[in-house]
Amino acid sequence: MKNKKPRPVKRKLLNSYFVSTLSITLLLFLVGLLSFMVFNAKFINDYIRENIGFTIVLDEEVREVDLLRLQKLLAIQPEVKSAEYVDAVTAAQDLEKELGEDFVGFLGYNPLHASIDVKLYAAYTNNDSLAVLEQKFMDFSNVQEVYYQRNLVNLINENTQKIGLVLVMLGGVMLLIFIALMNNTIRLSIYSKRFIINTMQLVGATRSFIRKPFVGKSVMQGVLGALVANGLLMALIYSFSQNFSEVYTVSLVRVIAPVMGVVFVVGMLISWLSTRFAVNKFLRLRYDELFN
């Protein structure tokens, strides 16, 4: 008959493996969540910027043919993401909804003119580019006025760099903390097997032979933890996309692959390095030093 491990020993080993894998999974989930926030910050910033654009007010007597030509001319500009025509009646209705009052009925006429709402690509929403584009659009025929929210643009431009710097610094610190916690979790797992390592040395096993099963098992834990963590992240991203569909764009979809890649790389690399260093440490210790 083959020698079988007692059930209590098996249960302890399974519990130890489960707890270690669960700890790695939770830490990798936090790594993935942090990576998602850092990668997605740019797209959220672009989304906000690209919803700030120009309102080009047209001359009152502009002809339809001139209007269509101007709209097409604006749409083909390299800085312009979209150009949408808004007639005077629609503009009055929109403003009435914002104010909550029938100002057209009060005044007896509609003071608003037809306009074209221009949305720009994020790269062209800084103060210098906006000033150049404002003058450029003013030079077009049948344009009476070019308007954009200067105060809001200034506020966004002032805070974007500050928020980005803080986010990168915070992300770096948190990533180091997560890696340190993963490293400690793996080292504790190896620490519990230090006497097994010493026994293998005593019977003549080489260092590479001793390291191999520990490293292989630890890397598999990292892969398993990464798979579960990525599954949780995908569920979270799906929930995010359902609740914030207006922000969930094709650009955001492109963030998923890098985030999953970061989780896998961190999981496998830290598992491999931490296990290798931990095993090497106990390989260098004498038997009496294992009790310290």
Residue 152 C-alpha from the chain's centroid: 24
Distances, alpha carbon 269 to alpha carbons 31, 221, 222, 272, in Å: 13, 11, 8, 5
Q: What is the mean pLDDT of the chain?
A: 78
The whole domain housing 120 covers 53-148
We report the CATH number of the domain holding residue 132 as: 3.30.70.3040
**Helical residues (DSSP H) of the chain, grouped into ranges:** 7-49, 64-75, 88-99, 103-107, 127-138, 150-191, 194-202, 207-243, 250-283
- Confidence band, pLDDT 50/70/90 cuts, at residue 9: very low
- Judge if 273 and 184 occupy the same domain: yes
43 and 171 fall within a common domain: yes
Give the other-Cβ count within 10 Å of 282's Cβ.
Answer: 21
Let me know whether 285 and 178 are in one domain: yes
The C-alpha atoms of residue 289 and residue 292 are separated, in whole angstroms, by 6
Same domain, residue pair 72 and 209: no
Q: Is residue 65 part of a domain?
A: yes
Q: Indicate if 43 and 57 belong to the same structural domain.
A: no
Please check whether residues 134 and 104 belong to one and the same domain. yes
Tens of pLDDT along 55-105?
888 777 777 788 788 888 888 888 888 888 877 777 667 666 766 676 666
> Using CA atoms, how far apart are residues 20 and 182, in angstroms rounded to an integer?
9
Q: How many domains does the chain have?
A: 2
In tens, the pLDDT along 126-159 reads 878 888 888 888 888 888 888 887 777 777 777 7
pLDDT tens digit string along 207-225?
A: 888 888 888 888 888 899 8
* Pair (174, 205) in one structural domain: yes
d(CA 119, CA 228): 40
The verdict on residue 156 lying in a domain is: no
- Does this model's pTM top 0.75? My answer is no
Query: Does residue 1 lie within any of the structural domains?
Result: no
Q: Same domain for 280 and 263? A: yes
Domain shared by 183 and 273, yes or no = yes
